[in-house]
Amino acid sequence: MNKTYTLLLGAAFLAFPALAQQKAEPLDAAIVEKIKQEGLQKSQVMDIAFYLTDVNGPRLSGSTGLAKANQWTKEKLASWGLKNATIEPWGTFGKGWEVEKSYLALTKPYYQPMIGSPKAWTPSTNGPVKGQVVLVKATKEEDLAQYAGKLKGKIVMAEVTNPIKTTFAADGSRYTDEALHKMAEPVAPTEGRAPMSDERMAQMRARRAFVTKMNEMIQSEGAAAILSSRGGSHGTFFTTNGAPYAMDAKPALPEFEIAQEDLARMSRLLSAGIPVEIELESKTRFLTEDPQGYNVIAEIPGTDKKLKNEVVMLGGHIDSWHAATGATDNAAGVAVMMEAVRIIKALNLQPKRTIRIALWGGEEQGLHGSRGYAQKHIGDAKTKQVLPEQEKISAYYNLDNGTGKIRGIYTQGNEAVAPLFSEWLKPFNAMGATTVTNRNTGGTDHLSFDALGVPGFQFIQDEIEYNTRTHHTNMDTYDRLQPEDLKQASVIVANFVYQTANRTEKLPRKPMPKPQS
């Protein structure tokens, strides 16, 4: 998930006077208590997370690891009694990719292993490579000319200019009562995220164009590999793709993403005129046999004659990045959503509407799985032309903000659901879940539903170490998961889904967004 916050659709009484607030139907206290007991005393959420991370490994889009995870989750959901469990294609993704070998070490002026990983969708080195590191200092295209004829067989890196600062704040944090209170305050209505200024857009495009030119020059000069970093500290590095995954993507150079400390050390040495040599090897594999992307879908069928054809959905993305095992992003969300449906099945609850879980692929590359599903089943996000199924989905609930406990829920500007959600949170207030905000949170799969007029929601979660240590990093492992937080999240999700499935009416909706130009 790429986590972004936007202030959307604010004070809905002013923005949408036609949306009357919904009166909450009484909760069945006995069922809520059963959900709590099952989810807190007999939880399987950490067992699910263990199989997704430690046993399965990384789940990069298109990889063998993701295919294995899809198969395991499908079989696990079916073993609990869910129906229609399937691995459903959402559309064309592109090439899969995975790492088979990775090694990186400083050899001159002394030997020391370094922390790093090949960037996704970059090719293998030509066996072990040992060579001189060249520091490229360039901020504009004219600066590149000085390196002509000097990079053949070399390992190239850019200068590190930003010092690595000591952090005095804790890596992990929870929302304070003050922060939650502020979040609950209504925000002014808006059409969505404020557009990027023309100046900032021009700067971003110029920077991208320059980086493209620099990489093309480095490749044309015959460099052996590139070293880079997207930040991080204390041995943590953030990872991404170093080349496109399209089937017809142009070849790129081998590239390693490495810890800032290792990159900064080499930058200082080279700037001081001290030669630096390293040895590295990457063996990566492209998977081209099946360019399709897939989601995992399963259902608890509804029991009411009139309502069983309506659907309540829940889900999270199952794909991850490759430098670790994708624990907080997003095995945590997948484990919670799977545990929520397990709780409902274990208690033999009888939802009136069908409950459908969806585990999305390709989220990290652009919400591909949920957008592909929406295109096939709900409608066209650009034209807003919808399919019959759009009207039958009461709500979609998503979890993709790490391992932290649920502290509340974003209504995405749908003020009419606020009293319902407040009532549904009451049994969990003592567990820290209190806040209903009309704000919008972006960057993950609920947006694919919200864009087509289906009520789509993301829960507020404590961030724990999400943005400092785990999100898209080499440290996103099982050890970072918080068991008690995931248990709490599971019972809250199970309650929200069950209450939505058993209401007399579907959840109220916002007006359909306008077609995109």
Which of 261, 285, 309 finishes a domain? 285
Based on the domain organization, do 321 and 274 belong to the same domain? no
Which of 285, 307, 335 finishes a domain? 285
Residue 108 lies in a domain: yes
Task: Quote the CA–CA distance of 383 and 510 in Å, as a whole number.
Answer: 17
Based on the domain organization, do 335 and 445 belong to the same domain? yes
Per-residue pLDDT tens for 231-288? 999 999 999 999 999 999 999 999 999 999 999 999 999 999 999 999 999 999 999 9
pLDDT score of 191: 45
Amino acid at 263: L
Predicted confidence band at 19 (pLDDT cuts at 50, 70, 90)? Answer: very low
Which of 246, 264, 285 finishes a domain? 285
Residue 374 lies in a domain: yes
Residues 105, 286: contact at Cβ < 8 Å?
no
Residue 511 lies in a domain: no
Residue 4 lies in a domain: no
Based on the domain organization, do 83 and 105 belong to the same domain? no
pLDDT score of 208: 86
- Average of per-residue pLDDT across 220-239: 95
Picking from 376, 516, 371, 385, the residue whose alpha carbon sits closest to that of residue 449 is 371
Is 60 exceeded by the pLDDT of residue 399? Answer: yes
Picking from 52, 6, 5, the residue whose alpha carbon sits closest to that of residue 333 is 52
Residue 510 lies in a domain: no
Q: What is the pTM assigned to this prediction?
A: 0.94
Token pair in block for residue 241: 């793709």
Per-residue pLDDT tens for 307-346? 999 999 999 999 999 999 999 999 999 999 999 999 999 9
Based on the domain organization, do 339 and 399 belong to the same domain? yes
Helix, strand, coil % (nearest 5) of the chain? 35, 20, 45
The residues with which 136 forms a beta bridge, in sequence order, are 158
Picking from 436, 414, 413, 442, the residue whose alpha carbon sits closest to that of residue 424 is 436
Based on the domain organization, do 347 and 452 belong to the same domain? yes
Per-residue pLDDT tens for 75-126? 999 999 999 999 999 999 999 999 999 999 999 999 999 999 999 999 999 9
Give 369-399 as a 3 state SS string.
HHHHHHHHHCECCCCCCECCHHHHEEEEEEC
- Average of per-residue pLDDT across 404-412: 97
Residue 507 lies in a domain: no
Predicted confidence band at 21 (pLDDT cuts at 50, 70, 90)? Answer: low
Based on the domain organization, do 156 and 78 belong to the same domain? no
Based on the domain organization, do 60 and 184 belong to the same domain? no
Task: Quote the CA–CA distance of 177 and 183 in Å, as a whole number.
Answer: 10
Based on the domain organization, do 104 and 76 belong to the same domain? no
Residue 513 lies in a domain: no
Based on the domain organization, do 61 and 206 belong to the same domain? no
Residue 395 sits in a domain whose CATH number is: 3.40.630.10
Based on the domain organization, do 57 and 137 belong to the same domain? no
pLDDT score of 165: 86
Based on the domain organization, do 242 and 149 belong to the same domain? yes
Residue 30 lies in a domain: yes
pLDDT score of 11: 34
Give 75-131 as a 3 state SS string.
HHHHHCCCEEEEEEEEEECCCEEEEEEEEEEEEECCCEECCEEECECCCCCCCCEEE
Per-residue pLDDT tens for 168-209? 999 999 999 999 999 999 887 554 455 678 888 888 898 888
Answer positive or negative: Cα dihedral of 477, 42, 177, 25: positive
Task: Quote the CA–CA distance of 220 and 465 in Å, as a whole number.
Answer: 41
Q: State how many domains the chain has.
A: 2
Residue 169 sits in a domain whose CATH number is: 3.50.30.30
Residues 403, 335: contact at Cβ < 8 Å?
no
Domain ranges, residue 423: 11-93+291-502
Based on the domain organization, do 361 and 230 belong to the same domain? no
